[in-house]
Amino acid sequence: MDRPPVGRAVKRGVTAWGHALLGAMLGVVPVVAGLLFTSPVWPMALRIAGFTLVCAAVILAMAFPRAARRRSVRLTNRLLGTDLPVPLEPVSGERSPGPWVNRLRTAAWLVPHMALGGLVTGLTVLLLFSALMFLAVWLGGGGVVDSFGLTLRVHSGLPGLWAGAVAVGCLMATVAVCAGAAAALRLLAPVFLDHRQAERLAAAEEQMRRLAQRNRLAQELHDSIGHTLTASTIQAAVAGELMERDPDAARRALRSIEETSRVAMDDLDHVLGVLREERSPRTPQLTLGDLDPLVERVRRAGAEVSVTTCGALERIPATASREAYRIVQEGLTNALRYGTKAGIALHVTAQDDWLTLELVNPVAVEDAGFRSRKRRGEGQGLAGIEERVRLLRGEVSAGTTEGHGGDGAGQGATRWRLAARIPLRSAP
């Protein structure tokens, strides 16, 4: 439920006064240091200069830690209601833009924060004390009040009613002082705490990296869940057909559905955890070393798959190995969806600083035409494969070709061929 307007105003006033009180407390540190450093026997000009230099040095030291700027922004946003961006965390191996400039800007922010904070705290305490004193004397039967250098006599009853008006005026002055200081600090905060041009550019680049990461994760989720649903649908159909004739085979198909669903849930949990910007409890990192379980799940769906590997797959860089696994997964998913599920051949070769993937499967003529349409952009599977290979600076091709026998499809049969070449070393 929304807070009433009066309640919101009171809350803003209290938080603004809390921000001022915090500034006053921070200001005690440089003031005390300056007083301790200067000697009473020094000439007045030297004492003023020494006090100023010590205060400046202490304020710079307070603004030096990177956390000082971050906490200043968070406190200002929370207590003054501003909407300043949180300072960027430096990327590992890189330096944040303008660190010394930002430290100087933070120190410059602390000066008005401390000065206005001390002024507001002192005035509010004095005004509140005066209001209470006038009310106490008036309600206590009258008397003499010494306030603001003046000696005033307060009578009891109606003749002293003006004392109550003075008390109310002191309270209103307190509110005005807090509001004025808060407004001034809200105007100054963006000048000293907002991002500079370089930081805005770095923030935009960071946002682009996050969006690219989210798109990649979405593509991974599409590949994983799409593969699982396709395999599970086929296995469920097989289990239904074999339930009466071969219960053992039906149970194996159901167990395969359970296993593939569990893997998909792990992927889903990981991706959603990252998209929520939380620490995910599980971080599956499937690579080409996990090809055997993937191929076994496809075989349980009723497909005939032959796998040929060449080279040390375990020495492939982790990034290339993970992306290659997703490419093979999507290729096998497409083979299950649109192929004949017979004569699927997978070749994985790692040699001469290149990783080569080739997946061939027979398709019916009408399925080949449909896949050609998907190749032109009507589907997400091939587009995702092309995006992965492009990001790895590789080459990819997909399309129909005529078979030559020996793969279970027969001489002259139409086959779908997916081929990708991924460099294993960065270009010099």
- Non-local CB neighbours of 95 within 8 Å, separated by 6+ positions: none
Distance in angstroms between the alpha carbons of the first and the last residue of the chain: 61
pLDDT at 380: 55
pLDDT at 365: 55
Q: What is the helix (H) or strand (E) element at residue 204, kind and residue range?
A: helix 197-245
How high is the mean pLDDT in each 10-residue block of the chain (428 residues)? 59 84 91 88 89 92 88 88 76 52 89 92 90 85 74 80 87 89 90 79 72 70 70 76 78 73 63 55 69 86 88 80 87 82 89 90 61 45 79 85 55 78 69
Q: What is the DSSP letter of 85?
A: P
CB-based contact 339:362 (threshold 8 Å) = yes
333/246 Cα distance (integer angstroms): 26
181/21 Cα distance (integer angstroms): 12
- pTM above the 0.85 mark? no
Here the tokens at position 332 are 């096998």
66/266 Cα distance (integer angstroms): 37
pLDDT at 240: 78
pLDDT at 269: 61
Helix axes 99-139, 5-37, angle to 10 degrees: 110
pLDDT at 274: 56
Give the torsion sign (CA, 173, 174, 179, 184).
positive
Residue 149: which region, alpha, beta or left (left: phi > 0; alpha: psi -120 to 50)?
A: left
3-state secondary structure of 310: strand
pLDDT at 401: 80
73/47 Cα distance (integer angstroms): 34
Amino acid in position 6: V
178/171 Cα distance (integer angstroms): 11
pLDDT at 7: 64
pLDDT at 377: 39
CB-based contact 301:339 (threshold 8 Å) = no
pLDDT at 94: 44
- Which domains, ranges and CATH numbers included, belong to the chain? 5-195 (no CATH), 301-428 (3.30.565.10)
